[in-house]
Every structure is written in C-alpha cells, then in structure tokens.
Amino acid sequence: MKICFKILALCCAVTMTMTMMTVAFAAAPKGEIKVGAVFPMTGPSATFGQESVNGIKMGLATINKAGIKGQALKVIFEDDKGEPVEAANAVRKLINIDKVVTLLGSVASSNTLAAAPIAQEAKIPLITPASTNEKVTMAGDYISRTCFTDDFQGVVMAKFAFESLKKTRAAIIVDNSSDYSKGLSKVFREKFTALGGTIVGKSEYAYQQKDTDFRSLLQKIKRENPDVIWLPGYYTEAGLILKQAREMGMNLPFLGGDGWDSATLQKLAGPEGIKGNYISSHFSSEDKDPMVQNFVKEYTKLYKQAPGAMAALGYDVIFVLADALKRAKTFGPEDIKMAINSTTNFQGITGNITIDKNRNAQKSAVVLETTANGFAFKQKVAP
Amino acid sequence: MSDQVAYFFQDLGQYLINGIAQGSIYALVALGYTMVYGIIRLINFAHGEFYMVGAFVGLFLIQAHLPFIIALPCAMLGSGLLAVTVERLVYRPIRKAGKIQALITALGVSLLLQYLGQNLLGADPRPFPDALENKTYMMGPLMISKIQLIIIVTTVILMGALRYLVMYTKIGKAMRATSYNLEAAELMGIDTNKIISFTFFVGAALAGAAGVLVGMYYNTVEPMMGMIPGLKAFVAAVLGGIGVIPGAVLGGLVLGVAENLVIGFWVSTYRDAIAFAILIIILLIRPAGLLGRNTREKV
C-alpha cells in the first residue's frame, strides 16, 4: 500500500514538473498576441464553424499587414465538434497551455455557455461572434458578443409572422438539445401571443439533434391546423423537417432564425422544401452597402463560395478585437476586456456594433426568404 | 366526438406506417448484429459504420447516375467487402484473446471508421439526389410515400433471401453448424474462418442496403450517421433475442413502431426513454428477448 502511494506521488511530481516545463516553453515570444478560437469544425454544425474560421482568417490577413502596435495577431484554432464538453476542454487547453490573452467562439450557444464560466474564472476575455442565447453574456464581465440576442431575433420573427405574413395560428417545434432553440421559442411564444396570435398544441413539439425522422411529429402538428410554424433549430434538422413536411402536403411557411443560414439547408430541404420560408439573420450578401459588397467579392474570390452570415460575423469579430487591442493600454487580459466592453459604433459588415452595458451588441437584423437559389433579402429591422 | 375517434384511428394508422418503415431499417441493421453475435459471440459495435459506408457508396453511385436497382447491390457489396476486410485484419487475430478485448476493439474500429470518414469525406451532411421520383400515395386518409413502400418491400425481399440462405443452402447449413459449435464444425471439415467471413459479409451487406434506403428516405448522408441507428439496432437485436434471426426483425419493428407511437400520442422527447423502458421491461420478463430461448440455439 505504502509503495503504491509512493509511486503515485512520484508520478504526480513528474507530471507536474512536465506541465510546468510545457508552460514555460509555451510562453509567447515577443511580437505576437496570442488569441484562441473555438469553433465547430466537424459535427452537425460544421459549416457554421468553417465559415466563421474563414471569415476570421480573411480578416486576420488584413490586420496583420499593418500589425497592432508593432505586434502580429496569432490565432490558435480548436475544434469543439459542436459539443459543449469539447468546447470546455478546448477553452481550458487554450488558457492553460497556449496562454492566450483573448478567446473567440463558439457558434452554438450551448457550447459557448459551457466555455464562458471557464474564461470568466480565468479572467480571459471571450467574445462570441454568433451565440445569441441571452444567458451567454450573463456569465460575467469578461464575456461579450458582437451579435444580437435571441430576444431581438424572436421578437423580429413574431412580428414578421403576425404583421407581415398576417398569420394567427403558430405551432412551435423546438430542438430540445439546444439552449439557442429553447431561448428563441420562449421569446417567440411570448411576443406572438402578446400581439394577439395563438400558439397551437397542448404539449411542446420537440426533437433532438441528430434526429432524422419527423413524419409522426409533423402528422401530430398537422392535426392542430396551424397557419405558420416557428422552427428555431439548426439547418441540419430544419432541412430534413422542411423536406418531410412538404412531402406530407404541409405547404405553410416555416420560420427560422440564423441557425438556418447555411447553404446546406437548400440541399437538404430540396427544391420543394425550401420554397416560401423566412428566417432572421445577421447579414445578407444582397445588401447594397459597398462595404458589404466588397467583403462578398473578396470572400468569394478567396473561398470560391458566397459568404453566409457566420463568415460575416467571424470577419467582424476579429476586427472588433483588433480595434479593441489598438485602444487597450496593455495587452493584458484585464485591459483588453475594458477595451472590448467600451466598443461603440464600430462599422462592421453585419451592422454598426455597440457593446451595451450587458455586453451584448446593439445592431440590426435582416429577414430573408429561402428560395431554391439561396436566401433573398426581404427587409431590414433596426433594434 | 365521432370526428375525434376517426382522427385517432387515422393518426394511429399513419404512425404505424411511419413506424414500420423506420422499424424495417432498424431490422435490417439489427440482423447483422445478431448474425455476428450468433456465430462468434461478438457485439460488433462497428456495424453502424458498415451502414454508413453503404450509404456513401450508394450516394456516389447514384450521383454518377446509376439507377437505384444497380446502386443498391453495389453498396451492399461495398459494405460487405469492408466488413470482411475488418474481420480479417482486426477481429480474427484477437478472436482468441477474450470477449472484452474483442468488444473494445470493435468500439475502436467504430470510432476509427467514423473519424476517418469525417476526415476523408467532410462532416457536412450531404443530400441524396432524387434517384426515384418521390410520390405520395393515398390509401383513404392514410399517406404512404413511394420511398416508404420501397423500404418495406426491399426489407421483405432481403429477409426472405436471408431466410432461404440460412435454412436451405449448404453454406447456410455450415453457418448454423458453426454457430452451434465452432470446434465441432471445424472437426466436421467446415472451414469456419470462411464461414465467419461470410457471415460478416452478409450482415454488413444488409446494413449497407439499409444505409442506401435511409439516405434516400431522409435525404442526408454523413460520416456519423451510423452511431444512433447502430445503437438502436443493437437494442432491437437484444429485444428480439440476440442470435435469433427472426428476433432481430421483430425487435426492429417493435422499436420503430413504439417510437412513432410515443411521438404521436405522447411527448416526443420521451421517445428514447420509452423505447428503452420497453427494452428493460421485456428483458425483465423474458431475459432472453422476445424470441430468444434459453437453450443455445443460434443464427
């Protein structure tokens, strides 16, 4: 027993020494600001992660041409696979091993919610470009975002359904494994009923991520006779739901949030499924603003595909960070945090970004129509 | 009130149709689990990946404009060959090492294939081109889509073929003998290694067929797609009595129908909870599964 303990103690000592050595060697060389980025590069929301990273890399190239106060910005990318546990692990690794001074990420709110408390505790600022769930920035003063929140998105779509589409009976299908989806469905329910609409069905219509068969669920909803369906999920399942619904003869409009904003949605839903639905999002590549058009042109040239909302958000977040770094007194996490939180009227391609006192961005949203040829710009809604 | 009763029966019928279509898929995958378990007592967790590979082979062939009727057997062949290779390279060398070792290795193969697939093919779900014009037929108030019919018909044909193969052919007899007693079968001059390879081939081919059908049914194919159906099919195989061929079919159908009824008549989020509760209850009452006997009859 005693020998066992000694061996154990020895092992611990060796491991600790090794960890310390790694840390010592990993300390940043002069002239480099290390930033960590956590995005889903694989898994069900992979296109979102890949687009975000593309946007960040494109912005990074421009920023590093001039540098920030003589230093280069270095971004270390980690894959969270779209899973909260992986996001938490990646953030721990970036903070403890890579010693980053700021974190960017992730896309899905569930993942950012898992990462935020860790960043807060380590006092490393974290900016999320795309997580819209309310709770994300409540983790503490080191957590901020450069996108709008679900409150705003849910309200925009509830108003759009009731006022622009003149629909009064809505059904809600929620992705039960996503904080994002649950947040959006709650806001929509409140706003839509406040406007005078009815939410049909006694119980919630819910599914889980990675489900593929929705026919029985849709049959149940069909029985309640809604005239519009609020489906605030991600494109992987939303695409399949649209296809199956149309096959079952459900031709009513489905409404979604920015979670639908991926080119994969069209492919999964098919030409029939995609027609006549609406989403709210951060950015439209059809926006006539010259800054946006310039971004679209360069992005398309570089990556051979049109940018989605996540690419635009990724591009904006790295510039918001660069802007904050320029204003920060030092490159210590504390000063960077203060600079990020005092961002006002930053001209981004997804709108004018002002970080408010709750560290959320105040900015406009766009409503897009889904068509077989992509997302068509419908209207712009200011906060 | 009478309206509501009519609606109830209509919905019930619709859920049953959906459930049978989904259950057929589970059944096809479950057959491979049960056959492999029956013959070498290995729970082959990589089986869901054979299903995924079948779906991808089918996808590529249909993208190359081959008709469904050719793509399906080719996909089955692809999955089957992969399974034979895995068996030869991985399972055979460790067959004598013990059950736990084999089980862990199977998990390893499963993860290897998943992540290899993700690296080679990308994580993004791919749509399945419409190989067949999809129509919906009305049977009174009930809807059945062409693809649901194809799933059910293909499943019935494949199961008939399997039954014939196992019960009425020489190689089927050898499979049964090997499963009954491997050593004795070897002493009787049966090349058991060959028979085991063949069993892997047939089981994986059925899973590959299920993969193609699912790809067409849901219009999505991705490297991780084998994980959950693989798990469900494993449950189906245990439910029916693992090692018993008709049991796998029955287990698959029971699971598919139960899931759809829970979604339809109760809260959809209880789907998996109820499905697994059914499994537990059946195993408490009949530990060997629905059709399992406590005597050692296998394959």
- Residues of chain B where predicted confidence (pLDDT) is lower than 50: 297
Of B125, B219, B268, the CB nearest to A217: B268
Q: How far is A13 from chain B (nearest CA, A)?
A: 31
pLDDT for residue A30: 55
**Measured distance CA(A320)–CA(A144) in Å, rounded:** 11
A277-281 and A365-371 strand pairing = antiparallel
Render pLDDT for A295-325 as a digit per residue (tens, 0 to 9): 999 999 999 988 988 999 999 999 999 999 9
Share of chain A above pLDDT 90, in %: 57
Of B7, B14, B218, the CB nearest to A240: B218
Task: Name the token pair of A279.
Answer: 């989403």
The two most distant CA atoms of chain B are separated, in Å, by 69
pLDDT at A81 over 60: yes
pLDDT for residue A1: 45
Q: Which of residues 281-340 of A touch B (CB under 8 A)?
A: none
DSSP annotation of A233? S
pLDDT category of residue A7 using cuts at 50, 70 and 90: low
Position with higher pLDDT, B171 vs A2: B171
Angle at B271 between CA B53 and CA B58, to 5 degrees: 15
Q: How far is A54 from chain B (nearest CA, A)?
A: 16
A126-128 and A102-105 strand pairing = parallel
CB A83 within 8 A of CB A41: no
- Cβ-Cβ contacts under 8 Å between A and B: the total is 83
Strand locations in chain B, DSSP E?
136-139, 142-145
pLDDT for residue A9: 55
pLDDT for residue A24: 44
CB A28 within 8 A of CB A287: no
* ipTM value: 0.81
pLDDT category of residue A13 using cuts at 50, 70 and 90: low
Q: Which of A29-43, A75-89, A165-179 has the lowest mean pLDDT?
A: A29-43
pLDDT at A3 over 60: no
Task: Name the token pair of A219.
Answer: 């049959």
pTM: 0.79
Q: How far is B5 from chain A (nearest CA, A)?
A: 13
**Measured distance CA(A154)–CA(A134) in Å, rounded:** 11
Share of chain B above pLDDT 90, in %: 50
Phi/psi of residue B81, nearest 5 degrees: -65, -40
Share of chain A above pLDDT 70, in %: 92
pLDDT category of residue A90 using cuts at 50, 70 and 90: very high
A143-145 and A126-128 strand pairing = parallel
Provide the mean pLDDT of chain A.
87
Chain A touched by B14 (CB under 8 Å): yes
Residue A270: count of CB within 10 angstroms of its CB: 22
pLDDT for residue A262: 84
Cis before residue A106, ω within 30 degrees of 0?
Answer: yes
pLDDT for residue B299: 53
B245-249, long-range: CB within 8 Å, 24+ apart, which pairs? B245/B31, B245/B34, B245/B35, B245/B38, B245/B162, B245/B163, B245/B166, B245/B299, B246/B291, B247/B34, B247/B289, B247/B290, B247/B291, B247/B292, B248/B27, B248/B30, B248/B31, B248/B33, B248/B34, B249/B27, B249/B30, B249/B31, B249/B159
**Measured distance CA(A26)–CA(A97) in Å, rounded:** 7
Q: Which residues of B touch A51 (CB under 8 A)?
A: none
pLDDT for residue B269: 79
CATH top class, domain A151-281: alpha beta
Domain boundaries, chain B: 25-285
Domain boundaries, chain A: 34-148+289-363, 151-281
- Contact check, Cβ <8 Å, B125/A268: yes
Q: Which residues of B touch A79 (CB under 8 A)?
A: none
Render pLDDT for A321-380 as a digit per residue (tens, 0 to 9): 999 999 999 999 999 999 999 999 898 999 889 999 899 998 888 999 999 888 888 888
Range A34-148+289-363 classified under CATH 3.40.50.10310: no
Render pLDDT for A138-188 as a digit per residue (tens, 0 to 9): 999 999 999 998 888 999 999 999 999 999 999 999 998 888 899 899 999
Q: How far is B168 from chain A (nearest CA, A)?
A: 37
- Contact check, Cβ <8 Å, A42/B123: yes
Give the residue-averaged pLDDT of A268-277. 89
B133 by Cβ neighbours in 10 Å (0-12 / 13-18 / 19+) ranks as exposed
Q: Which of residues 244-283 of A touch B (CB under 8 A)?
A: 244, 247-249, 264, 267-268, 270
